[in-house]
Each structure stands twice: as C-alpha cells, then as structure tokens.
Amino acid sequence: MGTDLGHGPAHLIDPRTVKKISAALDALPASEVAARVDFEAMRGADIYPGFWDEQDVFHTWLRPRYKDLRKFYRRAARASSAVLVAIL
C-alpha cells in the first residue's frame, strides 16, 4: 500500500485480522516471549537497536513495548478498527 519509504510499503491490516492478532498476543505472555528471543542471533543479524548483549534488555526495553503492543491491538480489536503498519 503506498510508496516504499525505504523499509517496504505500508500494510493495512483488516479488522478481522486485527482481532486474530489481538487474541494471539493476549495468549502469549511476555515471559514466554522472553524465553523465545534469541538475543545472540539478533545481535549477529545486526537487528535494531543493536544492544542485545546488555543485561536485562528484555525487561527494560522489550517487555514494556510488548505490553503496549498488546494493549494497542486489544483496543483496535474492541473498536473493530483496521491497523496501518509502516516502518519509517
């Protein structure tokens, strides 16, 4: 959708899919996400922001953002809203 701004085009997620994403995120606790993250692989692949070897990076940086993401999708699902995803 739209112009590629350097990281791929934007994507519009329809309300039905937003509800599925919300349910999937709600079923996946942050503790399980932490157990699944391979910080060494992320560092090796030079994934942004690049400080994957710092102690407690999940708890100080990723966990709060994961909780915000769950909350965002939960609200969008309740409102039957679509979600526009773009990496800028």
User: What whole-number distance in Å separates Cα of residue 15 and Cα of residue 45?
Assistant: 33
User: What whole-number distance in Å separates Cα of residue 37 and Cα of residue 72?
Assistant: 21
52 touches 43 (CB < 8 A) = yes
Task: Quickly tell me which residue has 């959708």 as its tokens.
Answer: 1
pLDDT at residue 13 in the model: 97
pLDDT at residue 55 in the model: 66
Low-confidence ranges of the chain (pLDDT < 70): 1-6, 54-55
User: What whole-number distance in Å separates Cα of residue 24 and Cα of residue 42?
Assistant: 23
pLDDT at residue 4 in the model: 65
pLDDT at residue 50 in the model: 72
pLDDT at residue 77 in the model: 99
Neighbours of 60 (CB within 10 A): 10
pLDDT at residue 48 in the model: 75
